[in-house]
Structures are given as C-alpha cells and as structure tokens.
Chain A
Amino acid sequence: MDPDGELVARVGAGDRAAARLLVARHLDKLLALARRMLGETGEAEDAVQETFLKLWTHAARWQPGGAKFETWLFRVAINACYDRLRKRGHLSLDEAPEAVDPAPGPERALQNAALSQAIQAALDALPPRQRAAILLCHYEGRGNVDAAEILGIGVEAVESLLSRGRRSLRASLGHLRED
C-alpha cells in the first residue's frame, strides 16, 4: 500500500493541506539528494522546485495502482538533476567529469564541513549515473530494486554502477580511513 497514494489523489483534487503534507514529507530528502547530485545549493533547489511543479501538474492523472509515488518522485528529481548536469558541461551520463582533488588533510577532515566537502568532491568526480546509484543506495539507504526502478534500469546495471562507484569512492576517500 502506497503511504502517499491518498495524499496524491487529494492533491489532484486541489487540496492544499495534502500538498503541504507531501512537501513536508519529501522536500528535505529530495533537497539533500539534489545537493549531493549537483554539488550546488541554488541549482539543487531549482531541481526540487521543478520536481514538485511536475507533481502539481500530474497529480490529477495519478494512477494509484501503478508505481509507488515516492519512486516516481525520486525519478523525476534525478532526471531534473541529470538535465542540469548535461546543460552544465555537456556531459554524457556515464562520463566522469574533471577530477577534483578531494584531499583536505586529515586534521580538517575531523570537522563536519570539511568531511562533507571531501565527500562532495569525491562524488563530483563520479559519472552522474554512478553518483545517482551510490546516493540512492548508500546515502538514501534504498534497496537495489527500488533504485533500479527510480533510475529506469535493471538491478544488475545498478549493481555494476554501485561496484564501480564504490571502488572510486574508496580510493578517493582513503585519507578518511582512520576517522
């Protein structure tokens, strides 16, 4: 049973309170994910706003028996992030961007902000598809099946993306090993 199904139906009928509840339930997660995907707050906020705008325009046509709502919402958000990454550097989704030096030094890594920066730098160095798979499974804590549905690919493809992504992250975040 989809916990959001009833709320989405109410949103489709123009219920503002239901819309507010959906925003309260999902906005933080989507914003955190978009920030890690894009590495930039302003663009992440735009991507999340675009995601909810799609929800407002499609809610009336929502079919309760189909995909889980949250899966659909995350798919829209990930696609909004992909669009921005493509526009930013004309990157293909499987191509790694320019390598960024992730080493902030062990003493700075003790601080939260520096740790967060190091993780972001390591994530930014991953190709967008690997980054999305890593974020959905190891950051968001979703299962591989759920992530595959969100990314619109097979479970084996997700496992392959995760394996390659983990290998790169393990190497680039190796300096945090002792913390």
Chain B
Amino acid sequence: MSDEELSDVGLVALLRDAETQDRIDASAAAAALSARVMADFDAASARRSWLARSGVFVSRLAATTWPGAPLWKPACALGFSLMIGLGVGALLPVDNPQEDTSFALDSSPGLDIGGDLR
C-alpha cells in the first residue's frame, strides 16, 4: 500500500459516515418522493380492484349460464364455439366482390333521395 492510500478500516469508516449523513439528507427529500410513491400505490390498487370486479362479473356470468360448473367449462365452451364460428366463416364460399363493384359503377341509382326532397 502506498503512503497516499487509506487503510481499509479508514475507508469503511468514511463510507459509513457518509451513509449516516446521506440518510439524514434523504429523509428531508423523502416526503415529496413518499407522496409520489403512495400515489402509485393508489393507482395500482384502483387497477387491481377493477380487475377483481371484472373477475367477479365473469364468475357470476359463468355461474348463471352454467350453474355449478367450474369456470374453465363455460370458458372452454365459449372458446370452442368461437373457433367453430370463425372456422365456418373462413371456409364458406363468398360472392366475388369484383362483380358487386362493377354493378355499382355501371348502374345508375334507382332511387334519387334528393329528387324526392325537391
């Protein structure tokens, strides 16, 4: 160790003193920060209670539609019916949209609403 260096004991004492002083300084600044932190808590609580209310609503809905069944059964039934609906919708043949467009462009309107008003 060179002459210019502190001992480990001296260094640790220096750091511990700094910590004590910093804690005093921090407690002065902590009031404003504490208010911000508690505002975050209130916002998080509000969000959590909204989620909890949504959960209760879903549970009640499931109990009404399928009394006595665990929540996963109506959820699966809903998911399954959605899958079938989407599958059928995707596989059904649809009319050619090109024909509809040409009809709309080539034909004159059969009803003149403006004319009726006049």
On A, residues with C-beta under 8 Å from B are 11, 14, 16, 19-20, 23-24, 27-29, 31-32, 35-36, 41, 45, 48-49, 52-53, 56-57, 60, 112, 115-116, 119, 134-135, 138-141, 166, 169-171, 173-177
Contact = CB atoms under 8 A, between A and B. Distances in A.
A29 B23 contact: yes
Contacts of A139: 15-16, 18-19
Contacts of B42: 16
Interface of B: 1-2, 4-8, 10-12, 14-16, 18-19, 21-23, 25-27, 29-30, 33-34, 36-38, 40-42, 44-45, 48-49
Nearest to A15: B45
Contacts of A28: 23, 26-27, 30
Contact of A166 (B8, B19, B45): B8
Nearest to B49: A14
Given A49-B37, A57-B44, A116 B21 contact: yes
Interface of B is mostly: helix
Given A35-B22, A60-B48, A173-B11, 11 more contacts: A32-B23, A48-B37, A49-B40, A53-B44, A116-B21, A134-B15, A139-B15, A139-B18, A139-B19, A141-B19, A175-B4
Contact of B19 (A11, A16, A32, A60): A32
19 contacts: A14-B45, A16-B41, A16-B42, A16-B45, A19-B41, A23-B38, A27-B26, A28-B30, A35-B22, A45-B33, A48-B37, A49-B36, A52-B37, A115-B18, A119-B15, A169-B6, A170-B8, A174-B4, A177-B10
Interface of A is mostly: helix
Contacts of A49: 33, 36-37, 40
Contacts of A169: 6, 11
Nearest to A134: B15
- Pairs of residues from A and B, 3 with the lowest C-beta to C-beta distance, nearest first: A174-B4, A32-B22, A56-B44
B35 to A, nearest CB: 10
Contacts of A115: 14, 18
Given A35-B26, A170-B8, A56 B15 contact: no
Nearest to A57: B44
A23 B37 contact: yes
B29 A41 contact: yes
A138 B17 CA distance: 10
A31 B26 contact: yes
Contacts of B12: 138
Contact of A27 (B30, B40, B48): B30
A173 B37 contact: no
A140 to B, nearest CB: 7
B39 to A, nearest CB: 10
